[in-house]
Amino acid sequence: MSSGKQALLIGDITHARKEWEGCSSFVGLQEFPTGTREEFLANLKSAKYDNVVVIYRSNDSTKYTGPFDKELVQALPSSLKYICHNGAGYDNIDVVACSAKGISVANTPQAVDDATADVALFLLLGALRRITIPFTAVRQNQWRGSGFGLGHDPRQKTLGNAKYVSFDELLSTSDVISLNLGLSAATRHIIGPKEFAKMKDGVVIVNTARGPVMDEAALVDALASGKVWSAGLDVFEEEPKIHPGLLKNENVVLLPHIGTATFETQRDMELLVLENLRLAVQEGTLKTQVPEQRK
Protein backbone atom coordinates (compact mmCIF):
# COMPACT_ATOMS: atom_id res chain seq x y z
CA MET A 1 0.00 0.00 0.00
CA SER A 2 1.23 3.48 -0.93
CA SER A 3 2.48 5.64 1.91
CA GLY A 4 0.89 8.71 0.29
CA LYS A 5 -2.53 10.19 0.91
CA GLN A 6 -5.45 7.98 -0.09
CA ALA A 7 -9.09 8.59 -0.99
CA LEU A 8 -11.61 5.80 -0.39
CA LEU A 9 -14.77 5.37 -2.45
CA ILE A 10 -17.58 3.45 -0.73
CA GLY A 11 -20.15 2.21 -3.22
CA ASP A 12 -19.96 3.29 -6.84
CA ILE A 13 -19.76 6.33 -9.09
CA THR A 14 -21.95 5.93 -12.16
CA HIS A 15 -22.06 9.34 -13.85
CA ALA A 16 -18.62 10.85 -13.19
CA ARG A 17 -16.40 7.78 -13.24
CA LYS A 18 -13.78 9.37 -15.48
CA GLU A 19 -13.52 12.34 -13.15
CA TRP A 20 -13.06 10.03 -10.15
CA GLU A 21 -10.26 8.18 -11.93
CA GLY A 22 -8.70 11.54 -12.79
CA CYS A 23 -8.30 12.24 -9.07
CA SER A 24 -5.40 9.77 -9.14
CA SER A 25 -3.26 12.70 -10.31
CA PHE A 26 -3.26 14.13 -6.79
CA VAL A 27 -4.33 11.31 -4.43
CA GLY A 28 -4.19 7.53 -4.28
CA LEU A 29 -7.51 5.80 -4.92
CA GLN A 30 -9.06 2.89 -3.05
CA GLU A 31 -12.55 1.43 -3.43
CA PHE A 32 -15.00 -0.57 -1.34
CA PRO A 33 -17.60 -1.14 -4.09
CA THR A 34 -19.68 -3.75 -2.29
CA GLY A 35 -19.62 -5.87 0.84
CA THR A 36 -20.94 -5.86 4.38
CA ARG A 37 -20.51 -3.70 7.45
CA GLU A 38 -18.56 -6.52 9.07
CA GLU A 39 -16.16 -6.66 6.11
CA PHE A 40 -15.70 -2.90 6.16
CA LEU A 41 -14.97 -2.89 9.89
CA ALA A 42 -12.52 -5.75 9.37
CA ASN A 43 -10.72 -3.71 6.70
CA LEU A 44 -10.49 -0.81 9.13
CA LYS A 45 -9.09 -3.05 11.84
CA SER A 46 -6.51 -4.55 9.47
CA ALA A 47 -5.05 -1.09 8.76
CA LYS A 48 -6.02 -1.33 5.07
CA TYR A 49 -7.26 2.26 5.13
CA ASP A 50 -4.68 3.78 7.45
CA ASN A 51 -3.55 6.34 4.85
CA VAL A 52 -7.05 7.39 3.83
CA VAL A 53 -7.59 11.11 4.42
CA VAL A 54 -10.96 11.44 2.68
CA ILE A 55 -13.94 9.16 2.06
CA TYR A 56 -16.30 9.51 -0.89
CA ARG A 57 -19.56 8.13 0.47
CA SER A 58 -21.88 7.27 -2.43
CA ASN A 59 -25.65 7.55 -2.10
CA ASP A 60 -26.00 3.77 -1.92
CA SER A 61 -23.14 3.18 0.51
CA THR A 62 -25.39 2.61 3.52
CA LYS A 63 -26.49 -0.77 2.18
CA TYR A 64 -22.85 -1.91 2.39
CA THR A 65 -21.53 -0.28 5.56
CA GLY A 66 -24.72 0.60 7.37
CA PRO A 67 -24.96 4.10 8.87
CA PHE A 68 -21.86 6.02 9.83
CA ASP A 69 -22.90 5.83 13.47
CA LYS A 70 -20.71 6.35 16.51
CA GLU A 71 -19.38 2.77 16.41
CA LEU A 72 -18.21 3.05 12.83
CA VAL A 73 -16.91 6.61 13.13
CA GLN A 74 -14.78 5.68 16.13
CA ALA A 75 -13.28 2.82 14.09
CA LEU A 76 -12.18 5.11 11.25
CA PRO A 77 -8.41 5.67 10.94
CA SER A 78 -6.79 8.66 12.58
CA SER A 79 -5.61 9.77 9.14
CA LEU A 80 -9.20 10.42 8.03
CA LYS A 81 -10.12 14.10 8.09
CA TYR A 82 -12.99 14.39 5.60
CA ILE A 83 -16.17 12.55 4.63
CA CYS A 84 -17.68 13.73 1.34
CA HIS A 85 -21.23 12.42 1.19
CA ASN A 86 -23.29 12.15 -2.00
CA GLY A 87 -26.71 13.38 -0.90
CA ALA A 88 -28.39 16.41 0.58
CA GLY A 89 -29.65 14.43 3.57
CA TYR A 90 -27.01 13.09 5.92
CA ASP A 91 -29.05 11.78 8.86
CA ASN A 92 -27.21 8.45 8.53
CA ILE A 93 -23.93 10.13 9.50
CA ASP A 94 -23.27 10.86 13.18
CA VAL A 95 -21.94 14.39 12.72
CA VAL A 96 -21.38 14.83 16.46
CA ALA A 97 -19.13 11.75 16.53
CA CYS A 98 -17.33 12.97 13.42
CA SER A 99 -16.70 16.38 14.96
CA ALA A 100 -15.38 14.79 18.14
CA LYS A 101 -12.91 12.81 16.04
CA GLY A 102 -11.84 15.84 14.01
CA ILE A 103 -13.59 14.74 10.81
CA SER A 104 -15.28 17.33 8.59
CA VAL A 105 -18.40 16.29 6.68
CA ALA A 106 -19.76 17.61 3.37
CA ASN A 107 -23.05 16.95 1.60
CA THR A 108 -24.52 18.02 -1.77
CA PRO A 109 -27.24 20.60 -1.07
CA GLN A 110 -27.21 22.86 -4.14
CA ALA A 111 -26.94 20.06 -6.68
CA VAL A 112 -30.29 18.55 -5.67
CA ASP A 113 -32.33 21.74 -5.45
CA ASP A 114 -33.90 21.99 -8.90
CA ALA A 115 -34.80 18.32 -9.35
CA THR A 116 -36.29 18.07 -5.87
CA ALA A 117 -38.25 21.29 -6.39
CA ASP A 118 -39.64 19.86 -9.64
CA VAL A 119 -40.89 16.78 -7.80
CA ALA A 120 -42.34 18.92 -5.01
CA LEU A 121 -44.35 20.91 -7.56
CA PHE A 122 -45.42 17.70 -9.31
CA LEU A 123 -46.69 16.33 -6.00
CA LEU A 124 -48.31 19.62 -5.03
CA LEU A 125 -50.28 19.86 -8.27
CA GLY A 126 -51.05 16.15 -8.25
CA ALA A 127 -52.36 16.31 -4.69
CA LEU A 128 -54.50 19.36 -5.43
CA ARG A 129 -56.07 17.51 -8.36
CA ARG A 130 -56.14 14.13 -6.56
CA ILE A 131 -54.44 12.74 -9.62
CA THR A 132 -54.05 9.16 -8.32
CA ILE A 133 -57.72 8.35 -8.94
CA PRO A 134 -57.91 9.14 -12.69
CA PHE A 135 -54.31 8.09 -13.31
CA THR A 136 -54.97 4.61 -11.89
CA ALA A 137 -58.40 4.32 -13.54
CA VAL A 138 -57.24 5.09 -17.06
CA ARG A 139 -54.45 2.49 -16.74
CA GLN A 140 -57.14 -0.04 -15.85
CA ASN A 141 -59.25 1.01 -18.87
CA GLN A 142 -61.89 2.50 -16.56
CA TRP A 143 -61.59 6.03 -17.97
CA ARG A 144 -61.79 8.44 -14.99
CA GLY A 145 -62.81 5.84 -12.43
CA SER A 146 -65.71 5.68 -10.02
CA GLY A 147 -64.02 7.82 -7.38
CA PHE A 148 -63.19 10.73 -9.66
CA GLY A 149 -64.05 14.18 -8.39
CA LEU A 150 -63.06 17.79 -8.84
CA GLY A 151 -59.74 19.05 -7.58
CA HIS A 152 -58.48 22.49 -6.59
CA ASP A 153 -56.55 25.20 -8.42
CA PRO A 154 -53.31 26.41 -6.82
CA ARG A 155 -54.49 29.97 -7.52
CA GLN A 156 -54.97 32.12 -4.40
CA LYS A 157 -53.86 29.32 -2.09
CA THR A 158 -51.53 30.07 0.81
CA LEU A 159 -48.39 27.97 0.57
CA GLY A 160 -46.57 27.35 3.84
CA ASN A 161 -42.82 28.08 3.50
CA ALA A 162 -43.33 30.69 0.76
CA LYS A 163 -42.48 33.39 3.32
CA TYR A 164 -41.17 33.39 6.88
CA VAL A 165 -43.80 33.33 9.62
CA SER A 166 -43.94 31.63 13.00
CA PHE A 167 -44.44 27.88 12.95
CA ASP A 168 -47.89 28.14 14.54
CA GLU A 169 -48.97 30.76 12.00
CA LEU A 170 -47.69 28.60 9.16
CA LEU A 171 -49.73 25.66 10.42
CA SER A 172 -52.92 27.63 11.01
CA THR A 173 -52.99 29.74 7.83
CA SER A 174 -51.60 27.50 5.08
CA ASP A 175 -53.73 25.83 2.42
CA VAL A 176 -50.70 23.82 1.31
CA ILE A 177 -47.76 22.84 3.52
CA SER A 178 -44.55 21.70 1.82
CA LEU A 179 -41.91 20.03 3.99
CA ASN A 180 -38.35 20.82 2.87
CA LEU A 181 -36.11 20.35 5.90
CA GLY A 182 -33.38 18.03 7.05
CA LEU A 183 -33.95 15.19 9.49
CA SER A 184 -32.50 15.58 12.98
CA ALA A 185 -33.54 14.88 16.53
CA ALA A 186 -35.18 18.32 16.55
CA THR A 187 -37.18 17.77 13.34
CA ARG A 188 -38.26 14.15 13.76
CA HIS A 189 -42.09 14.12 13.84
CA ILE A 190 -42.15 17.91 13.63
CA ILE A 191 -45.55 17.27 12.06
CA GLY A 192 -47.71 15.07 14.31
CA PRO A 193 -51.18 14.99 15.92
CA LYS A 194 -50.80 18.36 17.68
CA GLU A 195 -49.62 20.06 14.52
CA PHE A 196 -52.40 18.56 12.39
CA ALA A 197 -54.94 19.84 14.92
CA LYS A 198 -53.72 23.41 14.34
CA MET A 199 -54.07 23.19 10.54
CA LYS A 200 -56.96 24.33 8.39
CA ASP A 201 -59.54 21.71 7.52
CA GLY A 202 -58.78 20.39 4.04
CA VAL A 203 -55.09 21.25 4.05
CA VAL A 204 -52.77 19.67 1.45
CA ILE A 205 -49.43 18.21 2.62
CA VAL A 206 -46.33 17.66 0.46
CA ASN A 207 -43.16 15.97 1.74
CA THR A 208 -39.95 15.73 -0.30
CA ALA A 209 -37.67 16.03 2.74
CA ARG A 210 -37.29 12.91 4.89
CA GLY A 211 -40.10 10.56 5.88
CA PRO A 212 -39.62 10.73 9.66
CA VAL A 213 -40.15 14.50 9.81
CA MET A 214 -43.85 13.60 9.73
CA ASP A 215 -45.73 11.06 11.86
CA GLU A 216 -47.18 8.79 9.15
CA ALA A 217 -49.79 7.25 11.44
CA ALA A 218 -50.99 10.74 12.36
CA LEU A 219 -51.14 11.65 8.67
CA VAL A 220 -53.28 8.58 7.95
CA ASP A 221 -55.67 9.65 10.72
CA ALA A 222 -55.76 13.24 9.45
CA LEU A 223 -56.58 12.03 5.94
CA ALA A 224 -59.35 9.80 7.27
CA SER A 225 -60.92 12.65 9.24
CA GLY A 226 -60.73 15.10 6.35
CA LYS A 227 -58.36 17.43 8.19
CA VAL A 228 -55.90 16.69 5.36
CA TRP A 229 -57.64 16.73 1.97
CA SER A 230 -54.79 15.13 0.07
CA ALA A 231 -51.05 14.55 0.26
CA GLY A 232 -48.08 14.18 -2.06
CA LEU A 233 -45.22 12.09 -0.70
CA ASP A 234 -41.80 11.19 -2.09
CA VAL A 235 -40.37 10.01 1.25
CA PHE A 236 -41.56 7.69 4.02
CA GLU A 237 -40.77 6.83 7.63
CA GLU A 238 -39.47 3.30 7.05
CA GLU A 239 -38.43 3.16 3.39
CA PRO A 240 -39.11 1.10 1.37
CA LYS A 241 -42.05 0.18 3.63
CA ILE A 242 -45.10 2.43 3.25
CA HIS A 243 -47.92 2.69 5.78
CA PRO A 244 -50.90 0.60 4.53
CA GLY A 245 -53.22 3.52 5.23
CA LEU A 246 -51.33 5.59 2.67
CA LEU A 247 -51.26 2.84 0.07
CA LYS A 248 -55.03 2.40 0.33
CA ASN A 249 -55.89 6.09 0.21
CA GLU A 250 -56.48 7.34 -3.34
CA ASN A 251 -56.16 10.94 -2.19
CA VAL A 252 -52.44 10.40 -1.68
CA VAL A 253 -49.92 10.75 -4.51
CA LEU A 254 -46.99 8.40 -3.85
CA LEU A 255 -43.49 8.38 -5.35
CA PRO A 256 -40.63 6.05 -4.32
CA HIS A 257 -38.05 8.68 -3.23
CA ILE A 258 -37.11 9.88 -6.72
CA GLY A 259 -36.56 13.57 -6.01
CA THR A 260 -33.05 13.57 -7.48
CA ALA A 261 -33.53 10.76 -10.00
CA THR A 262 -32.40 12.47 -13.19
CA PHE A 263 -29.24 11.85 -15.18
CA GLU A 264 -28.24 15.50 -14.93
CA THR A 265 -28.76 15.84 -11.20
CA GLN A 266 -27.01 12.58 -10.38
CA ARG A 267 -23.96 13.71 -12.34
CA ASP A 268 -24.04 17.15 -10.72
CA MET A 269 -24.14 15.50 -7.30
CA GLU A 270 -21.18 13.25 -8.07
CA LEU A 271 -19.18 16.17 -9.45
CA LEU A 272 -19.87 18.23 -6.32
CA VAL A 273 -18.65 15.37 -4.13
CA LEU A 274 -15.48 15.18 -6.22
CA GLU A 275 -14.99 18.94 -5.91
CA ASN A 276 -15.26 18.61 -2.14
CA LEU A 277 -12.79 15.72 -2.28
CA ARG A 278 -10.32 17.76 -4.34
CA LEU A 279 -10.57 20.75 -2.02
CA ALA A 280 -10.12 18.48 1.00
CA VAL A 281 -6.92 16.95 -0.35
CA GLN A 282 -5.38 20.00 -1.99
CA GLU A 283 -6.56 22.90 0.18
CA GLY A 284 -7.75 21.36 3.43
CA THR A 285 -11.26 22.74 3.09
CA LEU A 286 -14.75 21.82 1.85
CA LYS A 287 -17.15 23.65 -0.46
CA THR A 288 -20.37 22.42 1.16
CA GLN A 289 -19.55 21.48 4.75
CA VAL A 290 -22.64 20.57 6.77
CA PRO A 291 -24.02 23.54 8.75
CA GLU A 292 -23.47 21.97 12.18
CA GLN A 293 -19.72 22.19 11.62
CA ARG A 294 -19.51 25.67 10.11
CA LYS A 295 -17.91 28.32 12.28
Q: How far is CA 292 from the centre of its chain?
A: 17
Spot the catalytic one: 21, 239, 264, 292. 239
Q: Are 92 and 67 in contact (CB under 8 A)?
A: yes
- Separation of alpha carbons 224 and 220, rounded Å: 6
In the residue annotation, 57 being an active-site residue is answered as no
In the residue annotation, 210 being an active-site residue is answered as yes
Q: Are 159 and 153 in contact (CB under 8 A)?
A: no
- Separation of alpha carbons 153 and 16, rounded Å: 41
Amino acid, res. 214 = M
Q: Are 279 and 287 in contact (CB under 8 A)?
A: yes
- Separation of alpha carbons 230 and 154, rounded Å: 13
DSSP SS3 for 172:
helix
Spot the catalytic one: 210, 216, 243, 270. 210
- Separation of alpha carbons 201 and 185, rounded Å: 28
In the residue annotation, 257 being an active-site residue is answered as yes
- Separation of alpha carbons 189 and 167, rounded Å: 14
Spot the catalytic one: 152, 188, 257, 267. 257
Q: Are 178 and 159 in contact (CB under 8 A)?
A: yes
Instruction: State the helix-helix crossing angle for 263-283 and 109-128, rounded to 10 degrees.
Output: 150
Closest CA to 51 of 4, 98, 101, 104: 4
Catalytic residue annotation: 210, 239, 257
